Structure 1
């Protein structure tokens, strides 16, 4: 994955992808994106199912945020394609905020230990286990 990611970075930085993309039609691109997503299905959806309270709203918000420029361009007009480029970052921030609100609102206090470890923001250990 590191080698293929490095290859994609080199292609993008050097501008070579622009030359290759001229020969690809949407009929070629859609199956590639679909098969890539289906290949990651076995990793993503079990993690989503372990924290449905956070995962499902996060998935819905990601789809909504990524589709804002296509369907709401009459109401939300931007000069730069911010939502296209940073949809995943926006959705991560929204999902983390939602998980923090559920944790602060004591929604997980009476849930099983497995659910608390995967959904609560104070049990994830992201801040406390980092070697600052």
Structure 2
């Protein structure tokens, strides 16, 4: 299997089941995926002819990364869950889309907030999505 196309998607774009994308070389790609499909970094798609393969990459996007010891990260996660915020969870940090209110709250809790532009891969919720409500 030779991958001949690549597509960078933001976390939100990876949840779209029907969408038109234009690749950097001008190639137009139409995605028609089953509803509820979430594309993640490293996924490989094929076209209807099974002749062309496209690899999905997580596109760098603006994020806030929350860094602290485990107990403070758990407190921060609790606040994020209450707001239905899509969040990427690791052992060392929580990552979320930029937000006008949360950084101030987190600093008051003693958490360190770092802004950056990196690939963002939030956890899927209990219903298989990571879209904010």
Q: Which has a greater percent of helix?
A: 1
Q: TM-score, normalised by structure 1?
A: 0.29
* Rg (Cα) greater in structure: 1
Q: TM-score, normalised by structure 2?
A: 0.29
Normalized per residue, which structure has more strand?
Answer: 2
Which is bigger in relative contact order (C-alpha 8 A, separation at least 6)? 2
